[in-house]
Amino acid sequence: MKIHEFQAKETLKKYGVPVQDGYAIKELSELDKALSSLKAAGINQFVVKSQIHAGGRGKGKIYNADNRAELVLEGGVKFTKDENKVREYAEKMLGNILVTHQTGPEGKKVKTLYITEGLDYKKELYVGILLDRAVSKNVIMASTEGGVEIEKVAEETPEKILKVWIDPAIGFQPFQARQLAFGLGLKGTAFKNFIPFIMKLYNAYEETDASLLEINPLVITNDDRIIALDAKMNFDDNALYRHPEIAAYRDLDEEDPLEIEASKYNLNYIKLDGNVGCMVNGAGLAMATMDIIKLAGGEPANFLDVGGGANKETVANGFKIILSDPNVKAILINIFGGIVRCDRVAQGVIDAVKEVNVTIPVVVRLEGTNAYIAQDMLKKSGLNFEVASSLKEAAEKVTAVIG
């Protein structure tokens, strides 16, 4: 699960991580109160930040929600010392469409603004924490190249990214924090302030069951404070039951409606841009299915993993989700009968097709226990199935029926 920057900073603040003061608003009528609170704290320069689940906000473009051809504002993050400018930026951002390199051309509607303290600083850094699956350890990455896409740094100047792996048996150690500080070239007060900062940041990552914690940029202020100027946090969905306060941050407006609907039925669904709907059991098999569809000349319209129990209910719900995408012209069902027998899957598919009224071609490939019995059941069902005996044949058949 992803959360907004202002929510990530609320979370980090609980763990003692230094962040800017700021207030989230959803209506322009809330702006005066936010400004008054900041001024009461002695703040006289401000940043207006669009809140969407995408990066590149500062370099994005704001378009009129009613006339998307009309450019309203360059940039979804604006710094100013002028209160009138704060109001101008807020009016142009809130309710309009922000397009960044991560949103695609359709962009995302800005429904929340974060009005924060504007800081003077002398250096931008990068810090990120995530799991390195290759070694089964958390890794802290740091770079002197803050404020730019870390992917670009990794591609063009990988030597500028420092990495420290954390042994889960002993946890993050102070000497590793010092190793990062030395690697970033920090000295004096900035060095001393970085050590507790990174220790608290890692603690926040672990304690919240985060899957990603990224600070870009992390800034060194003119008086050598270390501040998280931006914050991105993703969380392990399977651990959210332990963190109801974080689960409450979920913003359904930022998620695909079909993915939300699929989650109600415990289906793992991700919408893609193709025209071949995929219904598969197992994430690895789903990835292989999408690959072979592309090799056959087709384009997968989704990732859909129905899990180990492919029965009538899960298959019927899977059909409903897939058919909600108007781009889908055919469906490929690829099920391996291990936990569940293929003949039971076949009966579930037959019953589901009758219930849902599927009107586009369906290609079915079942492999595993009782696969031949299942194929015979499908052929004798009287329904419009194309039955394949191999994954290659299934991919070729589904791309052929689309034409």
- Both 82 and 182 in one domain: the answer is no
pLDDT tens column, 54-113? 988 999 999 999 998 999 999 999 999 999 999 999 999 999 999 998 888 889 999 999
* 86, part of any domain: yes
- Both 233 and 175 in one domain: the answer is yes
Percent of the chain predicted with pLDDT > 90: 64
- Both 318 and 340 in one domain: the answer is yes
* 271, part of any domain: yes
Cβ atoms within 10 Å, residue 31: 20
CATH code of the domain containing 36: 3.30.1490.20
- Both 341 and 395 in one domain: the answer is yes
pLDDT tens column, 7-56? 999 999 999 999 998 999 999 999 999 999 999 999 999 999 999 999 88
* 6, part of any domain: no
At residue 192 the predicted structure's pLDDT band, cuts being 50, 70 and 90, is very high
Percent of the chain predicted with pLDDT > 70: 99
Catalytic annotation, pick one of 114, 126, 205, 249:
126
Closest by alpha carbon to 302, among 276, 332, 284? Answer: 276
- The residue among 321 and 181 whose pLDDT is bigger is 181
**78 near 48, Cβ under 8 Å?**
yes
Which residue ranges are tagged as binding site for ATP?
A: 49, 56-58, 119, 124
**Last residue in a domain, options 102, 117, 132:** 117
pLDDT tens column, 160-171? 899 999 999 999
Return the sign of the alpha-carbon dihedral for residues 72, 76, 82, 86. Answer: positive
Strand-by-strand arrangement of the 268-271 sheet = 268-271, 302-305, 276-280, 330-337, 362-368, 385-388
- Both 311 and 380 in one domain: the answer is yes
What per-residue confidence (pLDDT) applies to 150?
79
- Both 197 and 113 in one domain: the answer is no
One-letter amino acid for residue 379 of the chain = K
* 343, part of any domain: yes
* Lowest pLDDT segment from 41-50, 117-126, 215-224, 377-386: 377-386
Give whichever of 95-109, 151-165, 296-310 has the largest mean pLDDT.
95-109
- The residue among 50 and 259 whose pLDDT is bigger is 50
Cβ atoms within 10 Å, residue 147: 15
What per-residue confidence (pLDDT) applies to 127?
97
Which residue ranges are tagged as binding site for Mg(2+)?
A: 216, 230
What per-residue confidence (pLDDT) applies to 384?
80
CATH code of the domain containing 138: 3.30.470.20
Catalytic annotation, pick one of 63, 202, 205, 214:
214
Is the pLDDT reported for residue 277 higher than 90? yes
pLDDT averaged over the chain?
A: 91
Which residue ranges are tagged as binding site for substrate?
A: 281, 338-340
**Last residue in a domain, options 212, 247, 282:** 247
Residue 147 region, left (φ>0) first, then alpha (ψ -120 to 50), else beta? left
Number of structural domains, the chain? 3
* 15, part of any domain: no
Beta bridge partners of 375: none
**225 near 186, Cβ under 8 Å?**
no
- Both 238 and 269 in one domain: the answer is no
What per-residue confidence (pLDDT) applies to 310?
61
Which residue ranges are tagged as binding site?
A: 49, 56-58, 119, 124, 216, 230, 281, 338-340
Assess whether 269 carries a catalytic annotation.
no
- Length of the chain (residues): 403
User: What distance in Å separates the CA atoms of residue 285 and residue 278, rounded to the nearest whole number?
Assistant: 11
- Both 127 and 221 in one domain: the answer is yes
SS (H, E, C) 133-165: CCCCEEEEEEECCCCCCHHHHHHHCHHHEEEEE
- The residue among 45 and 258 whose pLDDT is bigger is 45
CATH code of the domain containing 304: 3.40.50.261
- Both 185 and 241 in one domain: the answer is yes
Cβ atoms within 10 Å, residue 253: 11
- The residue among 50 and 326 whose pLDDT is bigger is 50
- Both 277 and 372 in one domain: the answer is yes
Return the sign of the alpha-carbon dihedral for residues 259, 265, 269, 274. Answer: negative
At residue 311 the predicted structure's pLDDT band, cuts being 50, 70 and 90, is low
**Last residue in a domain, options 117, 147, 173:** 117
* Lowest pLDDT segment from 67-76, 92-101, 206-215, 328-337: 328-337
Is the pLDDT reported for residue 265 higher than 90? no
- Both 220 and 273 in one domain: the answer is no
- Both 146 and 242 in one domain: the answer is yes
What per-residue confidence (pLDDT) applies to 46?
96
Range of the domain at 108: 21-117
Assess whether 214 carries a catalytic annotation.
yes
